[in-house]
Amino acid sequence: MMTQKTTLRERLTDIRAPRPEGTIGRKLAVTAGIGVAGALLGVFQKWLDSMAVNELPRLFQMIDLTNLFGRIAIWILLATVIAVFSPTPRRASLNTFVFFVGMLAGYYVYCQFVLGFLPVSYMMIWVVLAFVSLPLAYICWYARGEGRVSTVISGGILGVLLAQTFWLVQGPSGFCLTHAAELVILVVGAIVLHRDIKQTLIALGISVPAAVLCQLFLPYWA
């Protein structure tokens, strides 16, 4: 049994080797900073929701920032960035989870103490997603590794973003762009996950059937 565990660890290390995490103080500071960033984004998102569009700065109106943060693609991208640039897969899980907990805390504290209401049912959806991010972030960390496994993981992530960017199988008029901002997010995601040209091209190829599956089996989410 110990040999099997060691072999699995070695195989995972071959895909991507963890980096040194630094001192305990540094680890705590980084994770705390990610949590604070999530809380600030949560407050900012709810502030956007509570403002009339014509009261927002012109730039925010031009890029439709209110609706951007109300869609899932930007949160997938942020979670991916946090995960893949963490030093270890365990730290990726922790940092991503803390980010979403911070976001939830900021969002709903603003609801409760500034706006005077608390959307409990909507909150529970994000609570579930925060816990789901733990295993997903662990897996996503290997996307910037080497070999077929990391390429498949990268393709899956890009497929999820692609499903948010284009109508592929469920659009009202066939293939079409959903939002320009999502296209930018997809491009940024490909840059974040890029290791070499060949791996990126294969991952983009994998992303197409992955996106189709998302839209077929998760139509309301995709």
Domain ranges of the chain: 22-143, 145-222
pLDDT of amino acid 171: 62
pLDDT of amino acid 98: 97
Low-confidence ranges of the chain (pLDDT < 70): 1-6, 170-174, 219-222
pLDDT of amino acid 133: 95
Nearest CA-CA partner of 158 in 215, 206, 219, 218: 206
pLDDT of amino acid 179: 87
pLDDT of amino acid 170: 67
pLDDT of amino acid 143: 96
For residues 41, 181, 65, 29, the Cα torsion angle rounded to the nearest 10 degrees is 10
Please state, in angstroms and rounded to a whole number, the distance separating the CA atoms of residues 67 and 13.
40
pLDDT of amino acid 1: 45
pTM: 0.89
